[in-house]
Amino acid sequence: MTRPTLRSATAGVTLVEVLVALVLFALIGGAGFGMLDQILRTQAGTEGRLERLAQIQRGMYLLSTDFRQARSGTLSWQDGEAGPVLSVGRSAAETGAGWITLTYQVQEGVLLRDVASAGGDPVARQSLLSDVAGIAWQFYDPGVGWVDQWPPPRAVAVLSQRPPNPVAVAAIITLADDRQLRRVATLPSEPR
């Protein structure tokens, strides 16, 4: 009969020990990969929402700035075939042009801001917001309140003079996902 030999401490590891170690490393690696994948998906979703929020904030800032610098009697509104179009003149001393005309409208799901020189020549077109379903404008008339067109029907226009601008303008922007944004911007005060 043969006696089993004793293994020395320096003989190495058994196959079972190697397999257990491999299984543990595989579990740790799989958990780490799953966690990394979830973090990357969360980051991608957050970046998309942050980019959309930044786009909305830039658009609303430009809208408010343009109306705060509006020239007296330059606001015009019309309800065209493609939707409402709003134009306003404002000073543009920084460009050396004196003043410019800005037009806001929605085309193919994009809110556009068109810039034209005082002579009416197009200068630039800027996309403010994408995924826009529509836009509506309201105008604040101190004697009446909020109205849907400017000048209001009751206003009597003097032939040689344009009606004054409203006190405030509200842009109600409907996004493609049926959410609405409302921005109210005040205009410079005018004698009435």
- pLDDT, tens digit (0-9, with 9 covering 90-100), for 39-64: 999 888 888 889 989 999 999 999 99
Domain membership of residue 146 (yes or no) is yes
- Give the tokens for residue 80: 């065209």
Domain membership of residue 73 (yes or no) is yes
Domain membership of residue 90 (yes or no) is no
User: Which alpha helices (DSSP H) does 140-190 contain, by range?
Assistant: none
**Sign of the dihedral through C-alpha 149, 150, 154, 160:** negative
- Give the tokens for residue 42: 């969360």
CA distance 131 to 178: 10
Domain membership of residue 159 (yes or no) is yes
Domain membership of residue 157 (yes or no) is yes
What does pLDDT average to in each consecutive run of 10 residues of the chain (192 residues)?
Answer: 64 84 92 91 86 92 90 84 84 72 92 86 89 92 87 61 85 92 88 52
- Give the tokens for residue 79: 């309800």
The predicted structure's pLDDT at residue 155: 61
* Residue 181 domain boundaries: 56-80+131-186
CA distance 84 to 104: 8
The predicted structure's pLDDT at residue 175: 92
Domain membership of residue 35 (yes or no) is no
Number of domains the chain is built from: 1
The predicted structure's pLDDT at residue 49: 86
The predicted structure's pLDDT at residue 23: 93
The predicted structure's pLDDT at residue 154: 66
Domain membership of residue 62 (yes or no) is yes
CA distance 176 to 100: 30
Domain membership of residue 178 (yes or no) is yes
In the three-class reduction of DSSP (H, G, I as helix; E, B as strand; rest coil), residue 40 is classed as: helix
pTM, rounded to two decimals: 0.71
The predicted structure's pLDDT at residue 159: 46
